[in-house]
Structure 1
């Protein structure tokens, strides 16, 4: 989910577009939750506020809230209702630039499954138009949590380990990151001359001097090496297949702070870890890009977000990443070592803290490059749902390449 928008509508102030959205939201509430709270008889339209919370390339999210008696000038609805019933989240599907993801059916599989497992929000209903979800007061996981709240960091690492070990009935054919990188290179070779003109037009000095195709080719070769890395048992047996299987997992693939909720019992207005109660819990959201792929991507996305905001690169340091990885390994060992095998998951060198730290650093670098070439292709394709204008988009690409160059210089000695 991307841009934060807080448009609030009631039936008396809707524009034509707002009216359509409002009717869609209310229709879903009444269809999948129903009951006395959402029936037309007990709760007329003017007793309901629909507020847009976020809007992205794949969907827009709205909060539907029944007004209290003190909020309206009409007679109070005396029907008893739980707080869950009075506030619902509606996720309306939008046109998406899916980048190779098969999003048309995955929602029907993943959303209910992850909800039942407690990894995602409770879902009341799902249909081609969208989803009806429980509303959770929450704030987003942040820098302060990562640095100072070990309890939440440990919980997040465990949550990611649980997510990665899931076996769900979606395609496991290939690593989508590698597929995307290869297709992007082919596309960039076609539009190379146009890109140089744009780099010059928007004064993108990093991009003008950057050997884009060579760097993407390096990423492809590195990804292929990463997924075929070998480990050796004490008896000297090559376990390439096992190593690849350990790294090929169900990935969230948008593992950023915006999609990591710190759920609280209050109104969720706290902005730092100091405001979290001891019983705060974590929940993941936004599974549009969830696919089988390289586990390192989720690590890279998470830490890349902190690093970019804290350039020059001094946070998170190795100690913080090691702590997160160690918590992840402990939970993964608990989940996986009970499964019979010749060598336990936790005993394989590829799953050591040192190995996974290198893995994390590699994907921090890779993610910066991916941000850049994905945005460039979207601009060239004249993608209608781009949330930013062309100039701003190229400025983001310029910054990403600057980060990539600095990160690669810092981490270049890592081994995959």
Structure 2
């Protein structure tokens, strides 16, 4: 498994009580515009700046009505987080109860769906309104170890006065994102919460390890589903004269009549239509299968993409929607791909690899990284992006949606070309 950076709030051997006092002074100075005695961690400072710009109350946050019991149950049934829950429980619940912690699982929108563990901490959580059905997104309850990882997509520990909202200063929480291996999209966050005095850097490492075990379990479940689809499709594929594929509902190829089939294809938003144009494949016809589709490749080149809507407004995760006469597709973008497309949308004449490296990293020599990312993007957005220089194709109309003037574009981005556009 690849490693990823861990943002622990304390280091082994630190004095938590002293650290909490310093954090309280730092937070107060930042909120009042004074010079703080120390700098908060960059990820915490960036979160505080976002919340100040949005006018979130630093004392109590925003009072958001919780979901009904019926809506919580509906969301539990409809999310793949439910399939990850056994792994999360096995890895965290015994530790949570023995070490006076609470395991919390929230979906990608920040709604708290499961909360299990130590009874005393559960009562403390109740007192600050963090119960099943509560919105724990950063915009609602400020900087925290659930809502902030939803934005940064990185494991994070938040301790005491690092919480933007004072109501949560007696807590420490360590959270890690969980991604769907089928789509790469964010499913939600798993978190361990406890009293602030119990803070320890190992909590974050544990949560991160268990979240990745949960992703591995979901990946194995997906392999088994593809095997079942392959068994169903095999008798049909042997009778097809041309090129055909059996794919699941996310476009992963279970079986094909050709040896050079891709691992995954891009499905239109509504594959139940009789036929649609697919990137790199042309016009395809769709027939339903249990758990997926039989895709017959007709081969005609028609219905190419004509319009792109790049939504970097912050109203939802950064997305790109591709529209054409043959159908439409929407993708959730990684932060890096959102930055790249944002730069290209602002520079219709195109950017060289060196220029993009300067835009993204402030270092024109990092062209290898740029070319690798552009290769991934062009495979995903076939027919939309050109190269030499990198740009949106001339025939494609581009609509760029940005946030309001107060926050500026992509507020969490550190890319020089993005930072320069902020007020």
Provide the TM-score with structure 2 as the length reference. 0.26
Q: Of the two structures, which has the highest relative contact order with CA contacts closer than 8 Å and spacing of 6 or more?
A: 1
Q: Give 1 or 2: higher helix fraction.
A: 1
Relative to the length of structure 1, the TM-score reads 0.26
